[in-house]
Amino acid sequence: MKITFLGHAVFLIESKKSIIIDPFISGNPAFPIDFQLPQIDYILVTHGHGDHIGNTVELSKKFNSTVISNFEICNYLQKKGVKNVHPMHIGGSKEFDFGKLKMTPAVHGSGIIENDEIIYGGNPGGFLLKMEKSIYHAGDTGLTKDMEFVKGVDIALLPIGGNFVMDVDDAVKAVEIIQPKIVIPMHYNTWDIIKADAEKFKILVEKLDVQCKILKPGEWLEV
């Protein structure tokens, strides 16, 4: 299994199938310019904000991908011409051909901004993927005790940028709760408002005997 960080909260997971999470590509200053996406089988969208729903419509049409998100976002995407959607909601789980997927709680917003209007985007969430390894993408979230339900995952992808999401200190507390084998920080340094010190995060996390992998956009981890 190969996990590639593509800046902000975008991750490409390549295993039996290719999965991209929160495909914010156009307008993403952290997206690696020369990176070429492979065939994308599934697109996972944690919530409706533009820096997460991103290029979902275009990619789903280009690759004939199946989009997995909450019911409201799937309904919105269908109106945009997306043919293949699989709606879920918080706490729901489903077996797919790549493994088992569960939607997890996130403490955040989910409004979709269009023509200066805010469209209801349902509840924000995260994703717990159980494949060869278990991967938890927390989505945009503050620290929450709900993270106890994903305790012991192999790999946790956690925001550390503060302001809109957990800061470094709260993300360290999240690691204490989750106790993953490996943690990868995300959602930081895309813009100044979410500037964070990933090296400080790494030092604090590794004091907990958890391995921290800081990936630059375009770098990957093979597990």
User: Taking the alpha carbons of 65, 43, 120, 194 in that order, is the dihedral positive or negative?
Assistant: negative
- Is 140 part of a structural domain of the chain? yes
CA atoms of 191 and 159, how far apart (whole Å)? 14
- Is 219 part of a structural domain of the chain? no
Q: Could you tell me which of 134, 129, 138 has the C-alpha nearest to residue 181? A: 134
Segments forming the whole domain that contains residue 111: 2-214
User: Taking the alpha carbons of 166, 138, 152, 2 in that order, is the dihedral positive or negative?
Assistant: negative
Q: What is the mean pLDDT of the chain?
A: 97
Number of domains the chain contains:
1
Q: What is the pLDDT at residue 218? A: 97
- Is 18 part of a structural domain of the chain? yes
- Is 223 part of a structural domain of the chain? no
Q: What is the pLDDT at residue 15? A: 96
The residues of the chain scoring below 50 in pLDDT are none
- CATH number of the domain that 24 lies in? 3.60.15.10
Q: What is the pLDDT at residue 2? A: 98
The whole model's pTM is what?
Answer: 0.98
Q: Which residue has the tokens 């043919």?
A: 83
- Is 84 part of a structural domain of the chain? yes
- Polymer length in residues for the chain: 223
User: Taking the alpha carbons of 10, 159, 48, 129 in that order, is the dihedral positive or negative?
Assistant: positive
List pLDDT tens digits, range 64-118: 999 999 999 999 999 999 999 999 999 999 999 999 999 999 999 999 999 999 9
Q: Do residues 46 and 21 lie in contact, with contact meaning Cβ atoms separated by under 8 Å?
A: yes
